[in-house]
Every structure is written in C-alpha cells, then in structure tokens.
Structure 1
C-alpha cells in the first residue's frame, strides 16, 4: 500500500539521521573529549576499547541500512554490547568526573542505543535510556561520593542525554501510529469504493435482468392483467411455465455453486415438478464450466420442453473434453427448436408420436 511505502521511507530517513547524529557525537564530541583527557584515564586503553565497541555497533547499523534490513534477533545482544561498552568506560573513569567532559560515554552511548532501537516500540527505547541513566547514577553514588553540585550537574546533563534521544524516539513512534491510522483510513476508503462498485454492478445486473424479462414476461403479464390472454388457454399456460422457468434460471445464475449448469437445470426442472411431471436428470462425463451466455442457451432448450411436458421428461447432460450436450426427451406437443445466441452452440429438435427430443450442443474449442 502507498501509506506503507511512505512510512517505510520516513522511518528509513529517520534511521539515517539518527545514525549520522550518533556517529557525529561518538566520533566527534566523544572522541575529542577522550583525546583531550587521555592522560586522566586509568588506563586509557579501556576507553578506546569502549569507543571501538560503540563504533562497531554504528558500523553494523550502517551496513544494515545500506541493505534495507534491521537487527532482528541480534538486537538484544547488540543493546547489551552498548551497555557493556558504557560499563567498561566507567571502570576506567577518574573519580568525581561522572557527567563531566571526561565522562564522554554519558552523552554518546545513549545515541548509539537509540539508533539500534529506533524501529522498536517506545517502551523498549525508554527502557534502554533508563538503563543508561541507572548505570551512570550507580557510578556516581558508588565511586564519586556525590555532592550537591555533582547531583545538580548530573540532573542538568540528563535533560539532554535523555530528552533529545527520547524526542527522536517519540517522533518515530508517532510516525508508526500515523501510518497505522493512514492504513486504516485507506482500507476503509477501499472498502467504501468496493461497496459502491458492487452496488453499481448489482444495479446494472438488475437492469439487465429486467431488460431480459421485459421482452417476454412483461407482455405476458400485461395480457393476463388486461384479460387479452386467457389463463385457461393451453398455449398461454405453456408460455407462463416457460417464463417461470426462465425466472428461476435467472435467480439461480447468481448462486455460487460447484456446477452452475446442473444447478440451473434443477431450477428449470422445478417448474415441471410443480405440474406433476416426473423429471429425471442424468449426467455423464465431465465438462468445462461454460460461460453464462452459453449456459443460458443450453438450458433454454431444456426448459422449453420441460415447461411443455405432460407427464414425464428426461434430461441428459453429457460432457467430454471438447463437447458438452444437454438433451431432453418429454411427452409434449411439438415445439420449435430454440435459437441460440452464443457462438459454438447448436440446437436440434425432433418430434415423433407425441414425443419431443431437443438437444443443445456446445463445442468449447470452436
């Protein structure tokens, strides 16, 4: 989705900015403070080791960014490595120098940890920053014998050490929430558009069905209403039975079934069943699913004969790989063969001794 792409681009850009800020702080401000006070550390090699650990983490973050990947399962060990680098630096820190310029790791390790945890929930980043603060506080109380001035200095430094990285984390969290809201709004918009399209399609389908029925069913109903047609007339009864079967077929076309052709034939046969006609439906072979226009031509021949049958009828469906046939035999008056409209459909009819046989064939390959 477009909103996901926008969020991914924004988060990727924020990761790059955080990495650049962390690198500038570690190798700029942190390294300069370390070199400026190198003679005060006991020993100085420990501080360079801590700096190397933080630099390795930043290098790993740069490689992952270049490949478009995240830390994954390595995230927790890497965060532990950042905390270990901070603890290592404090082991060689001179007395009474916590949160001073000598304590370079106090303002550097926090940014490295945030760079690793930027794409994680806010609580994880806040937990790391609290761990960072607790480590510095423990060193202050255990090794520095804190004075009021030292506590004030630590509290003032903590505002920037915790506040600035936390602001970046909050921005990342807000970006994620905005992305979730935008995605939900996009999905709702798509749902409304789909519903509107479905409603418009259903309306067009209803209009099309009304047009299909209006050519034959409506004149018949109007004739019955104005008494120009006699309900007792056998021909009128036959036309009514045919229209009833067509209506049932139209209703069956909307159903989602495994074999739409057999489903529609059964609905056509119900009209004959209601008249007391014994209908048999026999199927042989297998056949591809014909399109709706072809199904309508195949069932039209069957429903015409079924609606006219007197007492019995037999419908046979035979399918092969390249031919589908629907034939019906019934005892009824002679009926003309239906005229197919779909290409590849052919209809034949025979009448003999009050028996009518009609067959509709469809060749998919043609």
Structure 2
C-alpha cells in the first residue's frame, strides 16, 4: 500500500512539472517565438521554411499536451520528437538572414530549447544538458560556417546563450532535484517501514516466547523442578510417563508456529516423534479434507494422541478423518488404562474405550459448532 502511495505521489509531482514546463514552452515558443517570426518574416530568405520549422515545434508541443491528457509518457517516441526539434532548428538556420544568429530575428534560438526540454523533462539531467548543448551547437555552426563571423557576433552569441541555455537548464536541474528528493523520500519511508516491521516481529516473537513459557510453567516447570531437587525419581513409571507427555506437548508447542499447509497433521507428526524415539512403531493415516482448526482446537484434538502414546508399549495407530463438518483424531495403542483428557474448547468431544492392554481414544471437532 505504501509503495502504491509513493508511486502516486511521484506521478502527481511529475505530472505537475510537465504541465508547468509545457505552459512555459508554449508561452515562449508559440507566443514570443511567433511574434518575433511574424514581425520579421519578410526578412527571411524563405518565409515558408521558417513557418515549417515553427509548425514542427508546435506539433511537438501538441504531442506533449496530448500525452498529458492521456496520462502517458513519450517512451521511445521522445527521440523522434528531439530529432524533429533539432531538424527544425537546423532548417530555420538555413534561411536565416546572414549575421542574424542569436538576434531577435533568430526566433528559434529561444524557442526550440524549451520545446526540447519539455520532451526530456523526465529524463536524467545529463540528457537535457546534452540536448541544450546540441541546440547551441547548431546555432554556433550556422554562425561560423554560413556567415562572415566577427568578434561582436561571437560576443552576442555568448551573451544570448546564457539565457537561452541557462534558464531551461535551471528548470531541468529543479526537475532532477525534485526527482531525487522523491526517490530519497521513498527510500527513507521504506527503511522506516522495514525497521517498524522488524520491531513488530521482535515484539511478537518475544510475546510468543513469554506465552510459551506461561503455557509450560503449569506442567513442565514443576516436573523439571521435581527432577532437579530429587523429589521425583526418573525411574518411576509415572514420572517417565509425565516426561513423555511434556516432551510431546513441547514439540507440539514449537510446531504451532510453523507455516504449513496442514497444521493438524504437522503437529501430530511432532507428537508421534516422541513415541518413535522410545521404539514404539506408530502408523499415521489421514483421510479426507478439512478446514484448518484453530490452535486451541488442535491442542484438544492432539492431546488424546499425546496421552495415549506416552504409555504405549510397542505399537500404535493414529487415524485422522475429516470433512467440512467433522474432524476426528483417533489413536489405538497397547497403553493400558489411561486418563481421558478433558477438552477446554467448545465443540470438541473425547471418547475412550479400554480392552485389556489396548486403549482406543477419539477426539472429535465439529467446525460448524
């Protein structure tokens, strides 16, 4: 969203600059330029050639106006437009009265520069500078090659070049600076957002760690403290069973933050891994497709597996069957009699059956409820 806003702001700024440059170029090239041209049209060797050059500049400005209305840029056609501007400049100088370069009769000297700048306003500064240099070079070559140049003519050309080339160059510099400021502002904003995201991630990570410690402190921490102070014996089967249950719960807790396609199966595999490490052969069978249950629901569904596998002697089978209306997690193992866990989430029910050393336990969840 922020990148989109920056692009919109940058586009609006560029659009405004293009409008301002077009207005300035139109006022100078078509306004003052036409006035100078018409007032001295008869003094030119070929008035029609001068009118053709004037029409070429007007066509380029009309093209810029059309692109502005359509909200588009010049693209590759900009170089054709620049070629038209330089060609119009050269064409005008071929029929300019001798010795009149950079005078009031030389209307195109102060007109073509603004027209070309309009086309190159969104390009790097060096591109606009090269164009203005080429435009001045066309006038200088006409002065040197086609006329009997004097020191006064060169001085007049140098004086006129200060404003003819300097003012458009100043506008190009302003456009370049504004473009650089826009880019720097966008970069700074992205950096600020990156830092904010990093801080938010760090805060969320810390919150999750504290939440994990709180969840483990009720059962795991007392067990570890009992083993540490000697009040609980590692050889006691009850203690071993409690350790297996807490180990499975911890692995499940760590797996809850993983980004996977099926979090229920992912957490079940982590719970089963504890039994696998004890040498219990566990089969996992999943059938159907079901919506991803919330974390609290997944804990209730997997708790039955955790409790049964903690005392499984040699074998167990875990089955997951699901649909859009019902998700069932069942486990059968040679675990003997076990305590049936009480679910804390509404909509989750647990059932158990014992047959000698074999126990079957099933947890069901109805998403609709």
Q: Which TM class, normalised by the smaller chain length?
A: over 0.9
- Quote the residue 1:165 is aligned against: 168
Matches within 5 A, 1:25-174: 25-174=28-177
Alignment partner for residue 337 of structure 1, among 329, 337, 340?
A: 340
- Give the CA deviation at 1:36: 1.9
Contact 1:4/1:179 (8 A) holds in 2:
no
Task: Quote the offset at 1:257 in angstroms.
Answer: 2.9
Map of 1:305 onto structure 2: 308
Contact 1:336–1:349 under 8 Å retained in 2: no
Does the Cα contact within 8 Å between 1:279 and 1:312 map onto a contact in 2?
yes
Q: Give the Cα–Cα distance (whole angstroms) in 1 for the partners of residues 233 and 41 of structure 2.
A: 115
Number of equivalences: 366
Q: Does 1:275 align with 2:278?
A: yes
Deviates more, 1:121-130 or 1:240-249: 121-130
SS in 2 for 1:308: coil
What TM-score do the two structures reach when normalised by structure 2? 0.94
Gap regions ≥5 residues in structure 2: none
Determine the C-alpha separation between the residues in 2 that align with 1:96 and 1:342. Answer: 97
- Pick from 205, 228, 231 the counterpart of residue 228 of structure 1: 231
Please list every run of 5 or more consecutive structure 1 residues that lacks an aligned counterpart in the other structure: none
Residues of 1 paired with 2:316 and 2:131: CA distance? 82
**Structure 1 stretch 25-34 or stretch 227-236: which is displaced more?**
227-236
Q: Give the conservation status (yes or no) of the 8 Å contact 1:54–1:82.
A: yes
Report the aligned-residue RMSD.
Answer: 1.7
Output the CA distance in 1 between the equivalents of 2:90 and 2:364: 86
Cα offset, 1:73, TM superposition: 2.5
Mapped contact 1:301–1:338 kept (Cα < 8 A): yes
Following superposition, the deviation at residue 352 of structure 1 comes to 1.3
**Aligned residues of 2:336 and 2:356 also touching (Cα < 8 A):** no
1:212 to 212, 215, 222: 215
TM-score (norm 1): 0.95
**3-state DSSP of counterpart to 2:321:** strand
What's the secondary structure of 2:76's corresponding residue? helix
Instruction: Trace 1:250-289 onto structure 2 (pairs within 5 A).
Output: 250-289=253-292
Cα separation, 2, equivalents of 1:150 and 1:96: 7
Cα distance in 2, alignment partners of residues 71 and 276 from structure 1: 73
SS in 1 for 2:283: strand
Task: Please list the CA deviations of residues 183-231 of structure 1 after superposition, one character each: whole Å capped at 9, or x if unmatched.
Answer: 1111111110000000111111111111111111122222233333333
